């Protein structure tokens, strides 16, 4: 027999269950709605014009009809086997000899299979990494068929040991060797780290004939003004949170784009949302002087709609060094092309075009040029696709029929392989970007201070002298 009290208890229990179910359904509905809105925001336009039916879309960005594998660079077994791994390749044509040079980051003992990766006890072995050099001929493009016979492990000169001793460290690691040309020589922009993770950008000279990398300069911690200059306060407020890698007084510095302008060496420290250009100057704080800051806050919405690159939502990083876009003009080129990447479960790389005179961004690719999901990445970090270099080249069409201009992209796959990808430039769709309303700029100084070739140490920087500008 039900009493009034028991009926009331049952009624309250049933009402509570109904209320909880309704709230759960409401939360689930709101979550689905937010996911749908995020999908719409993230869905970029296609970066390529529609290919013919018998062509394979490399980065269709909306849906990939047929994922493809990259064209991997084959290396001798002694360098690429079960226990060692070259990855993140970067290529450049030597400005004096015309020879194509390709530099890999080479881990002598790949951390997935070596014992020290499991125990963490052998710190010296864990940090051991050398650049690997490939000499790939003097043709219109690198001859990758020579890779199997031309690989040489480069030595690191005494400058690296001096730097280590200066910091009182037992070991160091230098990696991500990306070549650029300056004053008739080839240099490598790379990071140099001390434990636990003091990663800062450095410059070294590539001595091809001697097979040696000669340390030149490690950048000091940048001023707070420069670090903050790459950020947009308006976009950060919209994003709500902005977390930089690194905490406290240390910020990890990687992914700088080096470009020579006459005798001066410029650094594209950031591309978007704010383009920040620095100039290498050993006498300045941190080793650089700011030359340009231009922010694209007002263009952010139109860029996101047209390209899928949401500057208010993601943190962007520079990929490789900017190179000439209009290569038919030679040294008188008016535009640079560069790339930036976003990490959000996938590595997605957009192209940007830069006016060489004003140094402002004029175009952004209408979608990612290459994404790790499109090429079915493999390796230790299956989602990692790290673009290290790119170049605009005129290549002969197979079977005759003239030449085709391509953007040749070299990237590391999964921290395990090196890949090359040719993208026809007429397949890339560009979104024009309006000029920023306000930009801060100073003229670039062509007279770079010269110093003797003896070691120069100031606080945390080490300097090995610059090449003669007349060389």
Closest by alpha carbon to 352, among 385, 303, 393?
A: 303
- What beta strand segments (E) does 73-170 contain? 85-93, 100-107, 129-135, 152-153, 155-156
Alpha carbon separation from 67 to 311, 374, 408 (Å, rounded):
27, 5, 19
CB 7: neighbour CB atoms within 10 A?
Answer: 10
pLDDT of residue 126: 54
**How far apart, in whole angstroms, are the C-alpha atoms of residue 409 and residue 91?**
9
**How far apart, in whole angstroms, are the C-alpha atoms of residue 128 and residue 308?**
39
Contact call for residues 449 and 458 (beta carbons, < 8 A):
no
> Global pTM?
0.79
Contact call for residues 194 and 170 (beta carbons, < 8 A):
no
pLDDT of residue 246: 40
Structural domains in the chain?
Answer: 71-463 (2.115.10.20)
CB-count exposure of residue 108 (10 Å: 0-12, 13-18, 19+) = middle
Closest by alpha carbon to 59, among 48, 71, 51?
A: 48
**How far apart, in whole angstroms, are the C-alpha atoms of residue 449 and residue 415?**
38
Tens of each residue's pLDDT in the chain, 471 residues:
556 556 555 556 656 656 656 666 666 555 554 444 444 334 343 454 433 333 333 333 333 333 345 688 888 888 876 667 788 899 999 999 999 999 998 876 655 555 544 444 555 555 567 799 999 999 999 999 999 888 998 999 999 888 888 877 766 778 889 999 999 999 999 988 876 557 789 999 999 999 999 999 999 778 778 887 776 665 555 544 444 444 444 456 788 999 999 999 999 999 999 999 999 999 888 899 999 999 998 999 999 999 999 888 888 889 999 999 999 999 999 999 999 998 877 788 999 999 999 999 999 999 998 887 776 666 656 667 889 999 999 998 876 678 899 999 999 887 778 889 888 999 899 999 999 877 778 888 875 444 333 233 233 334 444 444 333
Closest by alpha carbon to 346, among 366, 368, 364, 363?
A: 368
Q: Is the peptide bond before 273 cis (omega within 30 degrees of 0)?
A: yes
pLDDT of residue 125: 56
Residues in the chain: 471
């Amino acid at each position: 027999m039900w009493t009034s009290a028991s009926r009331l208890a049952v009624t309250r229990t049933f009402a509570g269950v109904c209320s909880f179910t309704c709230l759960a359904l409401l939360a689930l509905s709101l979550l689905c709605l937010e996911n749908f809105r995020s999908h719409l925001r993230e869905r970029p336009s296609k970066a390529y014009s529609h290919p013919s039916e018998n062509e394979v879309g490399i980065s269709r960005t909306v849906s990939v009809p047929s994922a493809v594998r990259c064209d991997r660079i084959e290396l001798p077994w002694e360098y690429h086997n079960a226990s060692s791994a070259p990855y993140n390749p970067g290529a450049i044509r030597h400005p004096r000899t015309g020879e194509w040079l390709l530099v890999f980051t080479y881990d002598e003992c790949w951390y997935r299979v070596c014992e020290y990766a499991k125990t963490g006890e052998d710190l010296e072995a864990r940090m051991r990494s050398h650049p690997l050099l490939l000499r790939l001929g003097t043709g219109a493009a690198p001859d990758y068929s020579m890779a199997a016979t031309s690989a040489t492990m480069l030595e690191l000169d005494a400058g690296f040991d001096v730097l280590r001793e200066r910091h009182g460290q037992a070991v160091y690691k230098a990696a991500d060797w990306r070549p650029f040309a300056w004053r008739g020589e080839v240099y490598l922009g790379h990071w140099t780290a001390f434990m636990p993770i003091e990663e800062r950008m450095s410059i070294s000279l590539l001595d091809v004939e001697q097979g040696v990398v000669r340390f030149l300069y490690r950048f000091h911690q940048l001023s707070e003004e420069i670090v903050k200059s790459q950020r947009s306060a308006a976009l950060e407020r919209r994003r709500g949170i902005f977390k930089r890698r690194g905490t406290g007084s240390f910020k990890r510095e990687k992914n700088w784009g080096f470009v020579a302008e006459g005798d001066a060496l410029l650094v594209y420290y950031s591309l978007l949302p704010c383009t920040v250009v620095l100039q290498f100057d050993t006498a300045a704080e941190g080793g650089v002087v700011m030359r340009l800051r231009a922010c694209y806050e007002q263009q952010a919405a139109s860029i996101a709609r047209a390209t899928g690159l949401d500057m208010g939502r993601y943190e962007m990083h520079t990929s490789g060094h900017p190179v000439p876009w209009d290569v038919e003009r030679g040294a008188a080129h008016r535009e640079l092309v560069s790339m930036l990447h976003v990490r959000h479960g996938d590595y997605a790389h957009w192209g940007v075009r830069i006016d060489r005179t004003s140094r402002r961004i004029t175009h952004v690719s209408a979608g990612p040029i290459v994404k790790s999901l499109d090429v079915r990445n493999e390796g230790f970090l299956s989602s990692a696709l790290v673009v290290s270099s790119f170049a605009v080249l005129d290549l002969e069409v197979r079977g005759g029929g003239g030449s085709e201009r391509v953007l040749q992209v070299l990237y590391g796959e999964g921290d395990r392989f090196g890949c090359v990808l040719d993208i026809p430039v007429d397949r890339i769709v560009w979104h024009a970007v309006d000029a920023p309303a306000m930009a801060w700029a100073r003229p670039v100084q062509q007279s770079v201070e010269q110093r003797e070739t003896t070691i120069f140490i100031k606080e945390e920087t080490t300097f090995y002298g610059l090449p003669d500008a007349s060389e």
